[in-house]
Structure 1
Amino acid sequence: MPGSSWLPTAGGPWSFWSRWYERAMAGDPLPWDLQREVALIPDAIWQQGPEAVAEQIAKIEAAYLARTTHLAEEVTLDPETGTFSVTPRPLENAPLISALLAQTEDALEDALQGQNGLREDMRAVRTLRRTHQRYGNDPQRIELDYTSVAISLRREIRETQELAETEDNLALLEAVEEGALAIRAQHPEIAENRQRIAQQRLREMDRADLEVLESAEPVLLALSEGEMAEDFARDIPQLINDATTPLPTGAPPLPGVDESMRVFHRVSWMKVIMDKLPDKGASLFDSKTNKTIRLALEGCALFTILGGPQIVTRLVEIGLKLFGVL
């Protein structure tokens, strides 16, 4: 059986086919629905050559990642600034959610007192403070953050014993878990998202992918505004740290699921929106967004390697691989 050495070098128009072949030879083929979409690319595009096919495959992959990492929010492009932002879906039963947030805040204050071991500088505390102060109207963000905190608290109380199993700490854990469950009960689409997240085969990011993500951070920051930019500034360093810092047990770490969902869901939608722009005004995209990318890439090594908007395409590939799709 021939090895993979006969394949064209990975990258460029052959990137997808190299990954497709490697997965097939490993007995772990790409998802059938993704392969089907590629197979159904119109003949007119196939006849234009490998570059045109690769461009169409990149669009298909971005849309596929957007569906795989679906969140209850909308990513939009501001035509005046050429930057992207996110808008959360409206809260259902806002009084109930407000009461749950207040209950969790009270439990947090109690747990920070006495001999419970919880400190203001701990990640779980910082996350809850930020969620309560800034994202009380964003159901998807509350669910993501509460779930992340619940996982952290359970591990620190019951596995590593970094936190004492006190009444206050257990009450905080219960309040966070109940809050996440309440959000899912009020928002069926968020419950579906969580089930999808739980089913993901999250994989470790290799060193090359981490370097791309780290180098792309200034680009994503320049292309986004408001909450989206602030999240990129927090989530990307956190992903890099999670993937490179050993856990206390010495077990190999995986990137944080919820940070990954935020980063790669938003990147995929940026790519989807970019792909639609030529039909709605390429001159706007060229004059606004491309200028922003060039400024962000000034002095960045990826400029010559990936060439502007292709960075977003490369990040989509990393996201698909991270979530077990490629």
Structure 2
Amino acid sequence: MNTGFWSFLEDVGNVLRDFKPADLLDIVVVAFLTYELIVLVRQTRAAQLVKGILILFVASFLSDLWAMRTLSYVLQKILQFGVLALVVVFQPEIRRALEQVGRTNIFAISIFKGKTPDEQLRERWKTAIATVCDAAEQMSDSRTGALIVFERRSNLSEIIKTGTVLNADINVEAIGTIFYEGTPLHDGAVVVRDARIKAAGCVLPLSANQDISKDMGTRHRAALGMSENSDALCVVVSEETGIISMAKNGVLIRRLDRQNLYNLLQMELIPDPPAEEERRTQRVLNRLRGKKAKEVSVDGDKKAE
């Protein structure tokens, strides 16, 4: 027993002696990717299917172990063709996952992200958000259905092509006219790009989520579908109840009043100014170094943040 114990310690010592920093990085990266994959699967309708795939793998392993040749052959063929079937069936989920990878942030700095919009664009966004909130409140009072999509990093050119390009400034009258019942564009969605109405009457993909409440109509399903396939924000006004909702990342936030909608849109659509973004990035880096972030005053004195 003592010989086996010392042999075990010797094996552990050999492993540690050959262990390199690259091996640690390799383990961390694989663990992180595995965790992100699990989180992604749990957020989609593929969760139940993954359980079935695991059962097939276990059954295939046991059939090989117990020399059940016919069952093993059938299971192997199912698994071979199953990969192609998964790609076809879950194309929207795969596309969304790749888009999320493209929007990955490292140390609060976006990859392939354009420079921060200037102050003029920030002011236009503030005005546009306030205008949309005013219009949503009015349409809620009058029970006028509406669906407004705010483009962010995901390019919505394919969605814009399904509607009528307007390139118009945002104002309450324009939004009210577009969604007024009887107008040609009232059934579609309005797409907002760079704080302007880019197009109206656009067709959005419907959500495939089977858990959506039956009292939600096509507008809500379209808003959820759009938010599931991109990082866009979708504001919905119910024609039946007048309830204002916002869809983000496949989640519908309901029963919003004007102020709550304004706060959510401003938080999501208006980025921090360059100075604030730089300070936030520096605070993240300082935490990673294990140091307390500090600010330097004008006269050169240091003070704790």
Fold match by TM threshold 0.5: no
TM-score of the superposed pair, with normalisation by structure 2:
0.27
More strand per residue: 1 or 2?
Answer: 2
TM-score of the superposed pair, with normalisation by structure 1:
0.26
* Bigger Rg over Cα: 2
